[in-house]
Amino acid sequence: MYTLTWLDRQEQRIERRLQLLRGSLARWRGARVGQRFGLGRGVRLLYPTCFQAGDDVTISELSYLHCLSARGVVIGKGTSSDRNLWLHCGGTLEDHTHGFFEIGEDSFIGCNAVLGAGGGIRIGNHVRIGQCVNIHAENHRFADPTHLIKEQGVSYQGVVVEDDVWIGSRVTILDGVTIGRGAVIGAGAVVTKSVSSYAIAVGMPARVIGIRGEEKR
């Protein structure tokens, strides 16, 4: 049976102090953050004046957050992300009116998440997001085959994930989707259409196979 040693505990304490120090530097750069805000090693927080977080928020190591947008990035208290989060609000210096990212309180984002928030991503409270989840709140236009896809522009609808949702590992959620309160999305699903509250959805494309709380027949 393994137990934590004194050195293990010291290492944890030192790393936490370093996270808080990096968080203080982000505040000095213009981020609006609460108490005990921490940043892991190697985190890149671009456009910190567009970033806001509540108390007890931690962004783990090697994450990349591009926050440039009129509404910015807002993270509720007690929410955290695991390592290697990639978040981009889609803004440029010439055009940063459309994107944003908002997540509520007591939520968690697993490692290696990719969040393209060009059309806006809003996530509620008490949400659990597994590893390697992709959310894409934008779409390339491609209807005209006589023009390059890159020349046809991008459309934005946005993605909404309501409270108390569990999104399994390697799920992909596409633009225009709303996932209702209390829903569960099974690992590996590709969600192309909205999912109702308390539904259980799996597959590619995702389909509802049950409702939480209903008795099996």
Residue 63 has pLDDT above 60, yes or no: yes
Amino acid identity, position 20: L
- According to DSSP, the residues that pair with 163 across neighbouring strands are none
pTM: 0.94
More confident residue, 46 or 216: 46
Q: What is the pLDDT of residues 162-177, one digit of tens each?
A: 999 999 999 999 999 9
Give CA–CA dist 95/81, Å, rounded.
27
Residue 112 has pLDDT above 90, yes or no: yes
Residue 22 has pLDDT above 50, yes or no: yes
At residue 161, the pLDDT reads 98
Site of tokens 């940063």 = 96
Share of the chain above pLDDT 70, in %: 99
Mapped onto helix, strand or coil, the DSSP state of residue 9 is helix
Q: How many residues does the chain have?
A: 217
For residue 151, what are the contacts with CB-CB under 8 A and spacing of at least 6?
none
Catalytic residue among 66, 98, 140, 147: 140
At residue 215, the pLDDT reads 60
- Summarize the confidence of residues 119-146 as an average pLDDT: 97
Examine the residue annotation and report whether 96 is marked as an active-site residue of this protein.
no
Report how many helices (DSSP H) and strands (DSSP E) the chain contains, helices first. 1, 25
Query: Residues 18, 19, 23, 26: is their CA dihedral positive or negative?
Result: positive
Q: What is the pLDDT of residues 88-108, one digit of tens each?
A: 999 888 888 899 999 999 999
- Summarize the confidence of residues 50-63 as an average pLDDT: 98
CA angle 69, 72, 77 (to 5 degrees): 170
- Specify whether the CB–CB gap between 45 and 69 falls below 8 A: no
